[in-house]
Structure 1
């Protein structure tokens, strides 16, 4: 056979495109060339393939080998094409089952000794192969667990190239090698932190439950030690577990980020980037292969920005577009990638650089100009996308009062599940299930409550105290308050509670 074919996958974000790998042997001049818009890492695959084959006793033809990656107009990046290129090249001279080779997708990087090394993004790559109708894939042994998370695909895990050749019906005397292992980064899920640990912040706990029930964004401001971080870290524990689609999306993003995924976690992710993070770290990027940033890794979960006032304004403003669209598009020279960005934003900030402005019994040493500069880091357009604003004060007692209402994580989760169930039934005839996802045109149109219920919002809109975006966000929070209260229709007190939460509820 002079021309052999097999398949690989080119990833762009979570999207995977099937690439046909063709190998052809022509003249007597020994050469190995790869065409079809490869990047530098892929262009070097010829050397890795030659050495891997030689060291495994697999003889490539000592002639000109041309490997074509089709479609030629699609950019291909990374070393994940190595195995497909090697198998196609070997199939031109080694007797293998041509139909078996041509119907198999190969994913993996080759070491010089012929071992298959793990690569990032195997899970979305296998999912792309399955969507394209392929039912058989070869992956490195270290990536086998995540590849098997995709239903309907036969996964063959191989430790070395000789194994792959034998699996395709070829004969080789080369001994098998020990597989390359990869560190497992997703061990047992941590037990959710309990809300019962929070002392003396009942209003903040109530606001956290409202945020979880409706999928709303939350701002918490207050002095250091008031419990902002403690509250934020307990939000994932009261969110509903991820369904199959969301869990697969989360696992795919983690795979793209280079983590070893062995199972689908049902706990919503929690991302907390440092306030020194750059816009690229938040959005995602990289040279050649685009990696997901904190926004994408937090999708289906919580993005927590601690010390929000310390983040550069340009970094914070990068959140505005994904908060509205639910996705993030990363454009780099010659490459573009789209990632999901369906996260709940939680921002914790101090009232001033020293954190003591307005704290009873404390002396703030910040100048008025420093306080203004600090608070302006959170721009008006970003604050307009925040649904709930909570102002915390320091706790005055280290122990719970005897008659104080203690809300546990289990109690809060039951409230959240019941409220989300009411919302899902109300929006059953629409594409939406959470209040935070319902567009304003629907809330002000088919689902609009009586005019007397909307009167406080209409007055605030006329006075300029609200934008139309803020109006819609208040309506979403009001519906969530109604769901928690068990109201079938929106009431005036639900709107009043939403206004209270929007304007800075004091905890």
Structure 2
């Protein structure tokens, strides 16, 4: 009987933190298994799974006192991924596996009662953390192998069972590490099944979304039911730049942390999240005793689409204010403080009134002015200020809908957006994450200067529309993007005029 030590990891938020599993089997004493190290219920229950998995795999269980310590002792462990390292440690401590085989090796995995491995959450983060810790190889369940294999600098071995892991460590299996051709995977998987050409008419809506894509401007679409607001929003990812490998890994880590990578080990297209309007605050920003990412983090580097915008609860919408500015969200609990990335493009859609037909020329609206004000009042001014573009989506005429011609496709729009972004990258010293929609006040003063005519127009707009300081800055950011789309270094009066036209809820002409 002896002491065995293995390196493993536990997930806190989306970060994998190192854990050392120490297993000591005494040579005397009554049979008992004691687990220490601030283990949560899922880890405490693993003792029974591990015992049956060990026996059903053909190994013997210890007959004396067993102490399992998960260090560090002050870090909460709440994951079934500790099953496999504990099981291997028990086998090493009882002499059924040579402890030397664990050198430069990290292990994580959940076990079934028959000894088979089951997929775990956060495999990608675990592989990144294992590489940082200097591990040479990593053993994971078969289902997680290709997800973790995209990390360079560490050999990932997917194992299907406890006995397979033992044989691999003992050198009895001629086993090659998992390999993923990332470039080929991106080429094969990064195609979109939808296109802007599917949308007949609504060229103004496409123009607004082009501006949103070029400068990363949050957007609100307003119009009667059935005008194509959702169709437009769902096609926005088709004109955004392709995901880079760095962005893909950042996004995949988030999906891995919630166990949503089984069908796609590596994200190759920008995420599009569409939560229902009954979503809670925790569902939107993340939460729980062991905090997990919410919808805004799952939309990282992609699009968050909120349909029926005023139908979301006021509290749920208000929690978006800080992440929209910061690009991340911090969740604090008594036991942990977790930060999740949340750099997303917000697109919302709403009707102009409760019945939805205020701007419909063919259907009568029966809403009273008080009902309309109450409906619009569900969206707070501070939140509305953080949305750069407010655009009315009109009803399409039947002749245009039934016509033979197709709408503007995504490809030329994407090329325009890419060219505009390249100009912004040059302006912001090559920073790929810095775009017009995220400019600071100092940058606005530097890059959004106006001539005398433009100054006069902007002053008039602020006075007549009652724009806040934040809305004033939003108009300038949008005008800068419109100028970039035309390849203009200066913001002309008509660039500014178009940006002001895109503040529809400030103007409220239809009300």
What's the TM-score, normalizing by structure 1?
A: 0.90
Deviates more, 1:276-285 or 1:448-457: 448-457
1:284 alignment partner in structure 2: 286
**Structure 1 position 399, deviation (Å):** 2.7
Counterpart in the other structure of 1:310? 311
Contact 1:34–1:66 (Cα < 8 Å) also in 2: yes
Q: Distance in 2 between matches of 1:414 and 1:463?
A: 36
CA change 1:415–1:171 in 2 (3 A) is closer
Whether 1:218 and 2:219 are equivalent positions in the alignment is yes
Q: Find the counterpart in structure 2 of residue 449 from structure 1.
A: 449
State yes or no: 1:410 paired with 2:411.
yes
Aligned position for 1:142: 143
Equivalent residues of 2:50, 2:111 under 8 A apart: yes
Q: Deviations over 1:389-412 (max 9, x none)?
A: 101221123436989994211111
CA separation of 1:189 and 1:417: change in aligned 2, threshold 3 A: closer
TM-score (norm 2): 0.89
Within 5 Å, give how 1:102-501 maps onto structure 2.
102-169=103-170, 191-259=192-260, 260=262, 262-286=264-288, 288-332=289-333, 334-399=335-400, 406-428=407-429, 432-444=433-445, 446-449=446-449, 452=452, 453-457=454-458, 465-501=466-502
For residue 180 of structure 1, what is the aligned residue in structure 2? Answer: none
Which has the larger displacement, 232-241 or 371-380?
A: 371-380
Return the alpha-carbon distance in structure 1 between the equivalents of residues 309 and 342 of structure 2.
Answer: 19
1:322-376 deviations in whole A, cap 9, x for unaligned?
1111112234553443221111101100011210123223222333333222111
- Check whether the contact 1:94–1:170 (CA below 8 A) recurs between aligned residues: no
Moved more, 30-39 or 447-456: 447-456
Change (3 A) 1:368 1:378: same
* Cα distance, 1:463–1:33 mapped onto 2, change above 3 Å: farther
Q: Is the 8 A contact 2:33 2:67 kept in 1?
A: yes
Higher deviation after alignment, 77-86 or 365-374: 365-374
Instruction: Decide whether aligned partners of structure 1 residues 415 and 72 sit closer, same or farther in structure 2, where only a CA change above 3 A counts.
Output: same
Higher alpha-carbon deviation: 25-34 or 9-18: 25-34
CA contact (8 A) 2:223 2:359 kept: no
Partner of 2:92: 91
Shift of 1:261: 5.0
Alignment CA distance shift 1:247-1:285 (3 Å): same
- Contact 2:189–2:268 (8 Å) recurs in 1: no
SS at match of 1:81: helix
Q: How far off its partner does 1:89 sit?
A: 2.0
- Give how far 1:60 is off: 3.2
Secondary structure at the aligned position of 2:398 is classed as coil
Note the aligned Cα RMSD (angstroms).
2.7
CA distance in 2 between counterparts of 1:131 and 1:367 reads: 62
Partner SS, residue 77 of structure 1: coil
Q: Is the 8 A contact 2:230 2:349 kept in 1?
A: yes
Q: How many aligned residue pairs are there?
A: 492
The 2-side partners of 1:436 and 1:112 are apart by: 53
**When you count helix as a share of all residues, which structure comes out higher?**
2
| Cα distance in 2, alignment partners of residues 194 and 431 from structure 1 | 25
The Cα of 1:189 is off from its aligned counterpart by 6.1
8 Å CA contact retained: 1:12, 1:338:
no
**Paired residues of 2:218 and 2:389 also in contact (CA < 8 A):** yes
The match for 2:20 is 20
Q: For the Cα contact (< 8 Å) 2:196–2:235, is it kept in 1? A: yes
CA distance in 2, matches of 1:365, 1:461: 32
CA contact (8 A) 1:36 1:72 kept: yes
Closer, same or farther: CA 450–232 of 1 in aligned 2, 3 Å: closer
Conserved in 2, the CA contact under 8 Å of 1:145 and 1:261?
Answer: no
